[in-house]
Structure 1
Amino acid sequence: VVMANGRIQQIGTPIDIYNEPVNAFVADFIGESNILDGTMPADRRARFAGQVFDCLDAGFGKDEPVDVVIRPEDVDVVAPEKGQLRGLVTAVTFKGVHYEIIVDVCGFKWMIQSTDYVSEGQTIGLSIDPDAIHVMKKSEFSGMFGDYSSFSDELDKLSDATEEVEEE
């Protein structure tokens, strides 16, 4: 059970909750996520990051605003010309089992977890399979984490601390 403000948000197994969060709060609570604003132009089609992607979700109104969740481990790093999206690698951290890669796609910070090494400053392609795209109805928690990955608050705090030191 995942609760917020004394109310049940979702009941399910940990795997179900992780793979199919019902809202942005649950998606952020259960693990790191790329949470984007999007729309549903049609069943099994989601528009976000300026592109239309195939997905498995249906039952939304035409062009209904939605939250789109993509887990960092579900984004594949590919050559720029083979990606559905392209972005600039702004940070790479070795985490032991994988690299945590921060990619700027048109001002949106994506977190990607990959066993493939890429260099900071490199342009890469991002490939996202339809089953990796989780679409949720907008809720009271929509926008709570910003129109960027849920880890970004932590990253922003680190950036702010660096800026404060430089200003002194």
Structure 2
Amino acid sequence: MTTKTSQILAELADREAIRECLYRYARGVDRLDADMVRSAYWPDVVDKHLEFEGNAEEFIAWAFPAMQAMDQTMHLIGNVLIALHGDQADVESYFYGYHRITVDGRKMDVIGAGRYLDRFEKREDEWRIRERLVMTDWFREYSDSADWSMGLLGQRLDIGGRFPDDPSYTRLRFDF
């Protein structure tokens, strides 16, 4: 079944708000910005995420220590399908997560990919995640990582940081 153009036009603001919420979540976990992650979830969310199940605060307490131990992370969101049902929406979004970790003194890369199966809810004109089920469809563990000391093609790199040290916190203004 397809969605008619006139329906998408009528739903455009809601659809964009849902996409922005997904992007806030991805940015929040990569930058270790707890407030940004909170802004993507309703406080009474139920998130089933790998071996974890709990609310937003419990998710932050579970995920952030593991993420802090990683050198770098990057979560990309794609293929977002949205079905609006009044003040609720069923949303499937694909994710691709890069993780640079250290194991026994060796740098290695781990890539995980899958889908977020989300139920969004609109409260007081704001969309956030009310329920999340994370499905892992693919992953790959590389026994090594690139030599970052040489930079990309021998060029100096400005490596992204975490909250509040990443340059995006001083160069950009987000009012989320």
Is the TM value for this pair above 0.5?
no
Which structure carries more relative contact order (alpha carbon 8 Å, separation 6+)?
1
TM-score band, normalised by shorter chain: under 0.3
TM-score (norm 1): 0.24
TM-score, reference length from structure 2: 0.23
